Each structure stands twice: as structure tokens, then as C-alpha cells.
Amino acid sequence: MKKVQYLFYTFFALLLSISPLQAQLFEDFESTSKLGYAGGTATFETGTWFLEDALNRSDGSGDLKNGSYSVRIREGFLRMDFDKTNGVNELSFLAGNSSFSGDGNGKIQVYYSTDGGNNWIAAGNEISVTDN
């Protein structure tokens, strides 16, 4: 798998739901900024998230956005640092390759944990990111 050095994902519609009768978790990453790529946490509307080799900002003119902010990931990851009561049934997000650094062939792998984040299980196959 080709590693992509400046892959920009825009996670602006993360929707986790159990069923129509149970509460949904929606995060648009609009409530705060994390300006550097060094690993660290940021607290958004839904809780604390850990961003590794990733940032969240509103001033990237080449970043894909739905609103003001974009999560930009180079070769790192974005992780919820909290549990979703009763688990997850559906996950939705939007992602795209960089529109200003010439990157392409990005890949996303979704993982889940059933033990508070101690162990992670791949949820399906890698997803190829298409150009925006």
C-alpha cells in the first residue's frame, strides 16, 4: 500500500447510530481547533478525541470542509477517547485527498473496540479515497 504523506481527510459528518429508536452521535468537528500535527487531544461537542499526525483547523484554503473546520490527517489517525453507550450500528463520514499538495491514492481503515480502546478490530476492508 502506497503511503500518502499529506492526505487530507475531512470528517465533517460522522454519524454513529444504534437504531432509529436510540440516540445518535453526530460530530462535525466545528467546536475547537488543534493546530499542530503532534499527537494530542481536542475536546469537541461529543467528547474528547485523540489526533495523531493530524490537526483540526479552519484556515486551510485547500482543505475540504462542510462548515468552517477540517480534520487533516497525514499518516496518522483520529480516535474517539470515549465510549458510545450500546455500541455502533452505522458509521458515515466524508473524506478526500488533498486538493493542494498533489497527494492521491489515500486509504482509510475503520477500527472499533469493544473493551474501552485496549484492543482494536478492523471493520471491513480498507476504503480508497477518491479525488475531490
Rg (CA), the chain: 14
Stated pTM of the model: 0.76
Confidence at residue 64, expressed as pLDDT on a 0 to 100 scale: 78
Cell of 26: 453526530
- Report DSSP letters for 70-92, one per residue: EEEEEEEEEEESS--TT--SEEE
- 85 — pLDDT class (breaks 50, 70, 90): confident
How far is Cα 26 from Cα 92, in angstroms, rounded to an integer?
10
Residue 112, strand partner residues: 121
The whole-angstrom separation of Cα 116 and Cα 102 is 37
What is the rounded average pLDDT for all residues in the chain?
79
Averaged pLDDT for residues 38-56: 95
More confident residue, 13 or 59: 59
User: Cβ(5)–Cβ(102) under 8 Å?
Assistant: no
pLDDT bin (cut points 50, 70, 90) of residue 22 is low
